[in-house]
Amino acid sequence: MKLSDVEVPVRVKLSALWASVMFLYVYGDFFGLFKPGKLAEMQAGRTPVGATTQGILVAFAVVMAIPSAMVFLSLVLKASVARWANILLGLLYSAIMVITIPGAWGFYVLLGCMEVALTLAVTWYAWTWPRSS
């Protein structure tokens, strides 16, 4: 018996890709807590970009809030806006990961490469978004 296969809409693909990216971000950050000295650095108020300040933490929150919001926004924004937001943010988040991967531990390199692949897939699906006739 042949299985039924339904075409998945681009918006759903984009939303699922952003959700997958967010899972990888969470696991990468969680696993990073097991690196020797990481918790001591956090308790001492140090981040990878300097001292812990409210401004730095707000910046980190914004960087993580954007892909979180894209899970929903990919589904509800006007198609032309969603397309360009996904293209631009997919490229931006791919670049962020490429910049942060060098010198990282193996688990982070693995997750980072997967994140790049997924955010490039976001860009690809948005770029090739079908046009209506």
> For 77, left (φ over 0), alpha (ψ -120 to 50), or beta?
beta
Q: Which residues of the chain have pLDDT under 50?
A: none
Question: Do residues 127 and 13 touch, judged by C-beta distance below 8 A?
Answer: no
Question: Do residues 119 and 111 touch, judged by C-beta distance below 8 A?
Answer: no
What's residue 1's pLDDT? 87
Tell me the pTM: 0.93
